Chains A and B, each alone.
Chain A
Amino acid sequence: MLTIDNLEKSFKKNKALDCFSCEFEHGIYGLLGPNGSGKTTMMRCICDLIKYKGKIDCGGAKIGYLPQQFGMMKSLKLFDMMKYFATLKKIPTPEQDEEIKRCLELVNLYDKAKDKVGSLSGGMVRRSGIAQAILGDPEVILFDEPTAGLDPEERTRFKTMLKSIGKNKTIIVSTHIVSDVEAVCDKIVIIDKGRKKFIGTNEEVAAIASSKAYLVEEKFEGILSGNYYIKDRITRNGENYLYVLSDIPIENSIAAQANIEDGYLCALKNI
């Protein structure tokens, strides 16, 4: 569906993407990576917004894109703005109104259609961005941090919507918040410093950290060795514990049940 082959992009000496290759089938993909890892850059390359080296092939599919920074002309009504996008996406005029209605309803904004963009809240603008990305039912949809600025209710609604539209499509959702993607994504791509670190299902990601997660009493902090990462400090039964990811077993520790986040962190920290 979408093939990326040896993608490379540099900003002066800074390599934002480095030999990135990946094949995206139908399904929902979570693109996980820390700040500056190259998620936005990759999406921009797919949309042909910037020059790059390497090959990207989406087989001529239509692409819907929600940029990380998205806004609209404030003095226009939301509906008119959507009309603009609909025309741009070559949706036939008689079908436009119906399609706009469908998309705005999916993001729970249809009641605001006649409002000026300037009067919408930040989260509403974000949701209208989601609506314009799915307008015209494109085969490939890229969401760059779609949930930034959304309240918990809307986050849930977004995930539900993803599930409902995600059939026979390639959807890529970029984020650095693991909980945003874990429940809905079929696969997770971990990206760091412009390189693909890992690709796999939720379980496979979690499995990276299996038997690498430990609860250690705080007083043993000094004896930690090898490649390890203190993910959290927690208090249990009045005792202070460290939640540690480590590639070598730790004495006097309690093994913990690793989750996706642990797997993601292990992948990033090479643990």
Chain B
Amino acid sequence: MIKKSFKLFFKMPRILIPAILLIIFQATALIYYLKSYSINGDVFLYILNSFSNCLISFIIIFYVSYEFFYLLKRSKIDEAIYANRNGKIKTLSSMAVVLTTIPALEFLIMFLFELGVILNSGMTDYSYIVHIASVLFLYIFLVGLIPIFIGAIFALKFKRIGSYSLAALIFFILSDISDILFMVSQKIEINLWVIKYFFGYILPNDLNSMLLQLDTYGIPGEIYRWNLVLFWIFLLLFFYILICKIKIKKVRVVSLSLAGVLAVINLVGYFKGGSHYEFGPQLDSISMESYYYNKYNKPKTMDADFSVEKYDMKLNIWRQLDAEINMKLSDESLNSYNFTLFHGYRVERVTDSDGMELPFDREGDYLTVHSNKNTPSLNIKYSGYSPILYSSSQGCVLPGFFPYYPIPGFYDFIKSQSYTPILDLKKAEFKIDISSPRQFYSNLNSEEQNKNCFIGKTDYPTLISGFFRDDPDDDYKIIAQTVKELGIDELDAKYIDEIKKIIEEKSKDEDIKIDLNNITIIQVPYYIINGFYTSGLVYFISDDQLFITFNEEPIKDEEAEHIIRAKKLGYKKYLYDEWLKASGVEYPNLS
């Protein structure tokens, strides 16, 4: 039957030619990008660009599908076919199978091309290949099934004019043009944006409009995005099965309920959300945070009258951060304990060492736990995410100076809707046990048996994950990104060697000791730094870690000078100085 349907398809120039043109167009576009970005260049940009034709592809596949299925009606062959036992389901499903070869071919061509680019760039992180395969599968193949189903359902149920007008509406919502809905919504005070929320993330074209560099994160393909695409597929499949009128009742009921249940599960999953980048004029992560702080921020500052001696953290990082943290307190006699904990985390429960629940106040970025008896330790359960500092199964960036864990005392760490690092933290013992499909990295040392469990003493426990590597044989502990970026040198031991040499030379006469061999050097994603109030070439330095980002041709001399100055002045003073130099105003005095 499928073979026969292929024959039908190949004998229909009106639908065959657009389908072939689409494939040729996609292949040509890939070759064109190859020219612009060069095969050894920026893998990420190259891949992002191959998504840019997704709306065109969506429209063409819809057209092909609609016309293919409409042919049944138009040629008046439908009744003669459907009159046969299971004739409808057989014909319709074999036609759908024929059509799936279009997105399948697109997927295959793109994957092979991109595989070539990745391998040619000399990248050795094979998980990146898996990542690219999976996001292409999501955005090219699975998303490509949606217009097939829509085309089929429209063709079988609606008239031509109605179908194409409805389709035009869908195309509009899917395209970037519909971003104006947001502006219109604000004018008429009716939230039209909701429509966009349902469809908006199906296509990856919004990724393309971002000029952000997500090399360490990869193409956003978080679980919630799979949920949305699968929701549409199963919902459409449900209607498709309904139209197919399967004669055997058992099969019909089972397949319908399966499709229905899967659609609902995925819809729930989509709205459950999780840590991810949010896009669009309303949902952009940085503007979302700005909006929040503009509206709700009531900053407080208060020094803590206690400290945490030991943190025992169990973190579950899949959709988002689910944390259970046990803290050994320095003073067990207080009536209330103040913490700073980012507002994106919802505190579920606070218990004392006996497992008794304790009352707590949660207001913005602040948490106060009340207790009227001795409290040697506290156990806090919370979950959530920051839209800027992501923490999902795809990647994670949680610097130690950001309150992703309860930091004693109240800190105002927001300035002009940007984060500022919380500095001058006391050292504490940490045990951070992470459950996640990804390999994590930290300035703390990992356990032998469990690479995702970190133990040690530090003032800033930094957790990082994504497309990173660390080379244990190196003289240095370097955590560097694995995806090659255009114009950025790889961060490797050789590079650090050179910087080290320069530092040694320049700091001969100074009374400081900079031991690059004994601190963790982290190449942090540029995008993260953007969310913070920072300045200078050294983004952060403490006793045990150094953050650097090469967003331009690195200037080693300058880099070395900055490291020396940051070490000499202390990071806080260095940051304030650099800020003044760059902006002409004082760094916001927050504490």
Q: Which residues of A contact B (CB under 8 A)?
A: 44, 47-49, 62-67, 69-76, 80, 83-85, 87-89, 129, 132-133
Contacts and interface: CB of A to CB of B under 8 A. Distances in A.
A88 B76 contact: no
B274 to A, nearest CB: 43
B7 A71 contact: no
Interface string B70-110: 01000111011111110100110000000000000000000
Given A62-B85, A67-B83, 10 more contacts: A67-B79, A70-B79, A71-B75, A76-B8, A80-B7, A88-B87, A88-B90, A88-B91, A89-B84, A133-B80
Nearest to B1: A87
A127 to B, nearest CB: 13
Contact of B13 (A69, A72, A75): A75
Which residue, B4, B13, B83, B247, has most C-beta atoms of chain A within 10 A? B83
Contacts of A88: 1, 81, 84, 87, 90-91
Nearest to A43: B83
Contacts of B85: 62-63
A257 B87 CA distance: 48
A71 B12 contact: no
Given A65-B80, A67-B80, A132-B80, A87 B75 contact: no
A202 to B, nearest CB: 28
Nearest to A86: B4
B247 to A, nearest CB: 7
B187 interface: no
A49 B8 contact: no
A84 B83 CA distance: 14
A85 B79 CA distance: 12
Interface in B1-47: 1, 4, 7-8, 11-13
A80 B10 CA distance: 12
Interface of B: 1, 4, 7-8, 11-13, 71, 75-77, 79-85, 87, 90-91, 245, 247
Which residue, B75, B82, B91, has most C-beta atoms of chain A within 10 A? B75
Contacts of A132: 80
Contact of A73 (B77, B87, B91): B77
A85 B7 CA distance: 13
> 4 closest pairs, A vs B, by CB?
A71-B76, A65-B83, A47-B83, A67-B79
B8 A73 contact: yes
B247 A71 contact: no
Nearest to A118: B75
Contacts of A72: 75, 77
B589 to A, nearest CB: 76
Given A65-B80, A85-B80, A73 B4 contact: no
27 contacts: A48-B83, A48-B245, A49-B82, A49-B83, A65-B79, A65-B83, A67-B76, A67-B79, A67-B80, A67-B83, A70-B77, A71-B75, A73-B11, A73-B12, A73-B71, A76-B8, A76-B11, A80-B11, A83-B4, A84-B4, A84-B8, A85-B80, A85-B81, A88-B84, A88-B90, A89-B84, A133-B80
Contacts of B82: 47, 49
A49 B1 contact: no
B77 A71 contact: yes
A74 B74 CA distance: 10
Nearest to A68: B79
A134 to B, nearest CB: 12
A48 B247 CA distance: 9
A172 B77 CA distance: 20
A132 B90 CA distance: 17
A65 B87 CA distance: 12
Contacts of B76: 67, 69-71
A74 B83 contact: no
Contact of B11 (A49, A64, A70, A75): A75
A115 B7 CA distance: 16
Contacts of A89: 84
A129 B80 contact: yes
A62 B77 CA distance: 19
A70 B80 contact: yes
Contacts of A129: 80
Contacts of B81: 85, 88
A71 B79 CA distance: 10
Contacts of A64: 83
Nearest to A66: B80
Which residue, B8, B75, B84, has most C-beta atoms of chain A within 10 A? B84
Nearest to B79: A67
A80 B4 CA distance: 9
A73 B75 contact: yes
A48 B453 CA distance: 63
A226 B11 CA distance: 63
Contacts of B247: 48
A65 B81 CA distance: 9
Nearest to A81: B77
A119 to B, nearest CB: 14
A129 B76 CA distance: 11
A20 to B, nearest CB: 19
B431 to A, nearest CB: 66
A66 B81 CA distance: 10
Contacts of B79: 44, 47, 49, 65, 67, 69-70
A69 B81 CA distance: 12
Nearest to A69: B76
Contacts of B1: 87-88
Which residue, A64, A66, A87, A129, has most C-beta atoms of chain B within 10 A? A87
A132 B83 CA distance: 11
Contacts of A48: 83, 245, 247
A59 to B, nearest CB: 13
Contacts of A62: 85
A44 B75 CA distance: 18
A133 B77 CA distance: 12
Contacts of B13: 75
